[in-house]
Structure 1
């Protein structure tokens, strides 16, 4: 995990506590206290205090081997996040993944530079499918999900040709930009002002007919937009 300095005017202790949680997300089988200290670049004593505080709030826990992993308290904190969007999106994603026999994803804009994987639904009958980690952050300028969101805005000087192309045809296509060999096809979801910028799409190993898949994705985006309207 790359260690970053807290921004000016923010809490250094809280910053380190959040770094612990982010580190544990990357290691679902847990880490030792020493590994956590090394991972976020603090003394073992500091790591011990951080972990004890997170344990007190059920945000992490230790097993009988003293390995530390994420705690169940995170479920309670995460449950309300974009609940309406996720609730409405799930049946649309399920229909999309059944139609395409590929993993369907819902992505929201996190900030000016990144998008976050909010939900992924995997096909039930496909022999093979793409799997991503829910919550992962990716650059908005790479991958079909971010490109589709950018394409929903007006043209800007120096934008990628893929963004311009996505604006013209209504969906974005990328290959190998988020994971090697994986093609993404995404379309923007028109949402209200209270909703984050959102895209819906497919991730698959092969896309022999991206136009046909693109139209499936656009139809799904329109359905979700109507539900959110």
Structure 2
């Protein structure tokens, strides 16, 4: 549940309150929950939970996978668009400074769902002889590429996680080689004080990385500064 649960009072809608509780609950469980688990967590009968989930499904705010586990739905993306616009506005000057400092392509990536991340913004260097180019909106697997690996590293360790995720958790930033595009190196760090289930990362894409630590510290600093603006 939310770290600061809302106390229901007589002027509030209990049904809407319970529906929002389900969404907040699913944010903290990106792998999904069963209907029974949801009912137990929010303290309602399974039949009530079923009606709430069906309503959220109709609005594409949650969905069920083939194992009948319930997770957040793509309809939240449309609702989040105004927030993402604010995120892009705050992030742009930070990305511009990062790309000028490193002469590499800087990117802002958000978690799309439990399996994918989405490229929200790209800033390319103006003076570099050559640089990596991506298109905004590109969707990639969360377990491939530095942005997704950084987000997974921000969550508690999983028994079957890749060694690169474990290493990223220790270093504070993730590095990947040729996982999104051949010959492209990625270096990314998550924006602090954001829930891993709805993660945001700042990173670099480049062809050579002779000093991973220097680049890693640069993206960590950029992510920290964006996190301060988002508080």
Q: TM-score, normalised by structure 2?
A: 0.64
Q: Deviations over 1:179-219 (max 9, x none)?
A: 000000000002456x9310000000100111110000100
Q: 2:90 aligns with which of 88, 96, 99?
A: 88
Instruction: Supply the distance in 1 between the matched residues of 2:104 and 2:146 (Cα, whole angstroms).
Output: 15
- 1:225 equivalent to 2:227? Answer yes
Q: Kindly tell me: are residues 78 and 224 of structure 1, through their superposed partners in 2, closer, same or farther at Cα, counting changes over 3 Å?
A: closer
SS of the equivalent of 1:129 reads coil
Instruction: Supply the distance in 2 between the matched residues of 1:225 and 1:212 (Cα, whole angstroms).
Output: 20
1:104-183 map, 5 Å: 104-183=106-185
Q: How much does 1:80 deviate? A: 3.4
Alignment: residue pair count? 156
SS of the equivalent of 1:80 reads helix
Q: Kindly tell me: are residues 175 and 135 of structure 1, through their superposed partners in 2, closer, same or farther at Cα, counting changes over 3 Å?
A: same
Is the CA contact 1:181–1:205 (under 8 Å) kept in the aligned structure 2? yes
Is the CA contact 1:143–1:177 (under 8 Å) kept in the aligned structure 2? yes
1:34 maps to what in 2? none
Is the CA contact 1:191–1:197 (under 8 Å) kept in the aligned structure 2? no
2:188 maps to what in 1? 186
Q: TM-score, normalised by structure 1?
A: 0.64
Is the CA contact 2:194–2:200 (under 8 Å) kept in the aligned structure 1? no
| Runs of 4+ off more than 2 Å | 77-81
Aligned-pair RMSD on alpha carbons?
A: 2.2
Q: Kindly tell me: are residues 79 and 206 of structure 1, through their superposed partners in 2, closer, same or farther at Cα, counting changes over 3 Å?
A: same
2:32 maps to what in 1? none
* Unaligned runs of at least 5 residues, structure 1: 1-8, 11-76
